[in-house]
Amino acid sequence: MAQASIVTVPARAEKWVLTATILASGMAFVDVTALNVALPALQANLDVTGAQLLWVVNAYALFLSSLIMVGGALGDHYGHKRIFMAGILVFTGASLVCGLSSGIETLIAARAVQGIGGAMMIPGSLAIITASFGPERRGRAIGTWSMFSTLTTMMGPVLGGWLAGQGLWRLVFFINLPLAVAALTALVLHVPESRDENAPKRLDFPGALLATLGLAGLTYGFIEAPDAGFGEPRILLALGFGAAALVAFVVVEARSPHPMIPLRLFRSRTFSGANLLTLFLYAAMGVAPFFLVLNAVQIQGYPEAAAGFVMIPFGILLTMMSRWAGGLTDRVGARLPLTVGPAIAGTGFLLLALPGLTNGPQDYWTSYFPAVVTMGIGMGITVAPLSTAVMGSAPLGSSGTASGINNAVARTAGVLAVAILGSVALVTFGQSLDNRTRDLPLSDAARLELRAEARNLAAAQPPAVLTDALALEVQAAIRWSFVDAFRLVVVIAGALGWLGALLAALTIERKGGNSGGV
């Protein structure tokens, strides 16, 4: 992706460029992080199964991850401002439908449309800033955008937890409407259009379609398999189709004169290693906080408002350490921090597995706080060097494409992690619940009802026909069964972090990013 044409705006309009891009980006960042904390309230309100809850997260992430590079290319072709505004309109319209949804099917469909809007909107923020600010002011502008993006990301869980605690989880979606109006007003009145005059004449729509179909097939197969069974023909068909589509995607990209993902970049050992590290580490980061919130609210008894603060130490440490880690990379290269950081983050994921049933928020400081801090330190060491390694291993003229690929890999990792490890959690929860209730005096009808309830994960309820004493025993079994599933998920996340550290040690150049071959 070539450099966009520069249309430097007057100084008085610069604040409007930043306002528009920060507000629009904030919509996406707040929506995702706030929704994670509001998911237990949403599940209770709409009577959502565990598999459907996974779809609420992944319907959005699926289309965002597979289309985000096409969204960037559309901006290069037809104008960054035009596509950015279209993305805002699509995202906001879908947000309105999400907030008004009375059924889970409508909500999931609207989340998918949100992902399409996000794919059009998210790449445009930095593209508009880059085109609107001259080189002497661009770094400061991007820094301002990054600071506010970090703040909105950190505020999201707090806002989502508070809204859920007030029974207002739908406002997580409705809050996007005034933000969109303000952003669109600033864009229309004050922000000029820009585009990449050297962009390829054709877009890689076949690649985008195959990527979307491949991820959709795998996502459907893994999420629905625990309920239907992995031997069910439709599950096998979905998984086989998804895998075949992704193989076809690689073939198409290799032969396309205008690929969405130029495979030649992967000739660099550092570029390949950095993206594999991204895949493993961001898979862990995509799934562990999701299940941590469910564990905190539905099992450990955290109020939603308190659950919104669980990951705050992580965000603070990530923000504080990123600048230092970037300086460390300048001095010693990316290999050391990309080996140490993921290993520490992996240790943090493993620490999440240590607590069993706690006494709620009062035990946070001795149960989950050490794990969250360790994760924050590990990711704080990792994020800036990872970006440096990716950008440094690609030719200068391909820096935008390299950044887009890494962004897409990170988001794809989250999609696959939620689908695959969500499936693991559903299966583990059901098996553990069977084992933990095997010796209880339950009738055959009650056992069948309890097995059906296992589809709801931590929201499962004891059969209504039980005595109070027996219902308490079953409720305890449900809570411990979710702890069993949660522990397995975070142990796998820890292993992914350590595997990423090993990959970095073996593939990342010791000093300097480019390993040649590109």
For the segment 103-144, what is each residue's pLDDT rounded down to a tens digit?
999 999 999 999 999 988 888 887 788 777 776 676 677 767
- Using CA atoms, how far apart are residues 180 and 85, in angstroms rounded to an integer? 9
Task: Record the tokens describing residue 272, joined without a space.
Answer: 């390949």
Q: What is the dihedral of CA 391, 395, 396, 400, to 10 degrees?
A: -60
For residue 198, pLDDT over 70 is answered with: no
Mean pLDDT is lowest, of 59-68, 238-247, 340-349, for 59-68
User: Please, which pLDDT band fits residue 406 given cuts at 50, 70 and 90?
Assistant: confident
Please tell me the total number of residues recorded for the chain in this structure.
Answer: 518
The H-or-E segment that residue 200 falls in is: none
**pLDDT digit string (tens) for 6-34?**
555 666 677 888 888 888 888 888 888 88
Specify whether the CB–CB gap between 329 and 337 falls below 8 A.
Answer: yes
**Distances, alpha carbon 132 to alpha carbons 139, 191, 420, in Å:** 12, 8, 41
Read off the pLDDT of each residue in 190-202 and give the average, rounded to a whole number.
70
- Using CA atoms, how far apart are residues 208 and 469, in angstroms rounded to an integer? 55
Residue 231: the pLDDT is 86
For residue 192, pLDDT over 90 is answered with: no
Residue 353: the pLDDT is 97
Measured between its terminal Cα atoms, the distance across the chain in Å is 15
Residue 513: the pLDDT is 43
Residue 239: the pLDDT is 94
Nearest to 339 by CA among 285, 392, 277: 277
**Distances, alpha carbon 364 to alpha carbons 229, 253, 301, 371, 423, in Å:** 37, 48, 11, 10, 27
Residue 93: is it exposed, middle or buried by C-beta count within 10 angstroms (0-12/13-18/19+)?
A: middle
- Using CA atoms, how far apart are residues 498 and 504, in angstroms rounded to an integer? 10
Read off the pLDDT of each residue in 193-213 and give the average, rounded to a whole number.
78
Residue 6: the pLDDT is 52
Residue 148: the pLDDT is 79
Residue 10: the pLDDT is 61
User: Please, which pLDDT band fits residue 235 given cuts at 50, 70 and 90?
Assistant: very high
For residue 266, pLDDT over 80 is answered with: yes
Mean pLDDT is lowest, of 111-120, 150-159, 236-245, 487-496, for 150-159
Task: Record the tokens describing residue 355, joined without a space.
Answer: 């607590």
Residue 396: the pLDDT is 61
The three-state (H, E, C) secondary structure of 84-153, written as one string: HHHHHHHHHHHHHHHHHCCCHHHHHHHHHHHHHHHHHHHHHHHHHHHHHCCHHHHHHHHHHHHHHHHHHH
For residue 280, pLDDT over 90 is answered with: yes
Q: Is 443 in a helix, a strand, or coil?
A: coil
For residue 230, pLDDT over 70 is answered with: yes
pLDDT mean across residues, the chain: 88
pTM: 0.88
Sign of the CA dihedral 122, 46, 422, 171? Answer: positive
**Distances, alpha carbon 183 to alpha carbons 13, 21, 89, 146, 500, in Å:** 14, 7, 10, 17, 38
Percentage of residues of the chain with pLDDT beyond 90:
58
Residue 349: the pLDDT is 98
The three-state (H, E, C) secondary structure of 376-433, written as one string: HHHHHHHHHHHHHHHHHCCCHHHHHHHHHHHHHHHHHHHHHHHHHHHHHHHHHHHHHH
For residue 181, pLDDT over 90 is answered with: yes
- Using CA atoms, how far apart are residues 507 and 280, in angstroms rounded to an integer? 14
- Using CA atoms, how far apart are residues 392 and 408, in angstroms rounded to an integer? 18
Residue 11: the pLDDT is 62
Residue 14: the pLDDT is 77
- Using CA atoms, how far apart are residues 288 and 422, in angstroms rounded to an integer? 10
For residue 408, pLDDT over 80 is answered with: yes
